[in-house]
Amino acid sequence: AERKLLPALYHRQMEGQFTEPTRIIGASRASLSHDEYRRFASDALKEHLKSGEFNEAEVERFTSRLYYVSVDAKSEQGWDDLKKLLEEGKDRTRAFYLAVGPAIFSDISEKIRDHKLITRNTRIVVEKPIGRDLASATELNDTIGKVFREE
């Protein structure tokens, strides 16, 4: 998130690709407040953007979109907090970007389903690698496919 994802999302904003009101919700096991996450993101952008790309006003606008929730992929911790945060704007497109190891793609997909966070506008994005070989990639695809329909 620090080196690639946050700068990439910042660039999307700079290109005018966010509609209002876009929110970006960071989630991990770490316990952070929204403001702490916004400071983390601002510091990450200062460190990882190329020279001349950091614009204080745009960074402030970008970080105002950021929210954070502490969630554990393998337990119930935090999922109700995430659901509550997603209640506002529940008809908007939701993209769950799983920047985690493939071993927990299934756990997270099932938690998203079990906590009724899937709407008709929900998408899931998984980072590579997807498996170690064809068999494990097929297994992961099938597991995620049980929760998220391909279309």
Q: Is the pLDDT of residue 131 over 80?
A: no
Please state, in angstroms and rounded to a whole number, the distance separating the CA atoms of residues 117 and 115: 6
Give the model confidence (pLDDT) of 35-94 as tens digits: 999 999 999 999 999 999 999 999 999 999 999 999 999 999 999 999 999 988 778 889
Structural domain boundaries of the chain?
1-70, 91-150
Give yes or no for a cis peptide into 21 (omega within 30° of 0): yes
pTM: 0.87
- End-to-end Cα separation, the chain, in angstroms: 27
Is residue 95 within 8 A of residue 123, CB to CB? The reply is yes
Residue 21: pLDDT over 90: no
Q: In angstroms, what CA-CA distances link 102 with 49, 63, 72, 111?
A: 28, 28, 15, 15
Annotate 8-42 with DSSP letters as a single string.
Answer: HHHHHHHTT-PPTT--EEEEESS---HHHHHHHHH
CATH 2.40.160.40 assigned to 1-70? no
Which structure tokens are listed for 51?
């020279």
pLDDT of residue 1: 86
The pLDDT of residue 99: 87
Averaged confidence pLDDT in the chain: 91
For range 122-133, the mean pLDDT? 83
Per-residue pLDDT for 150 more than 80? no
Which of 24-33, 113-122, 135-144 is least confident?
135-144
Q: Which residue has the higher pLDDT, 120 or 44?
A: 44
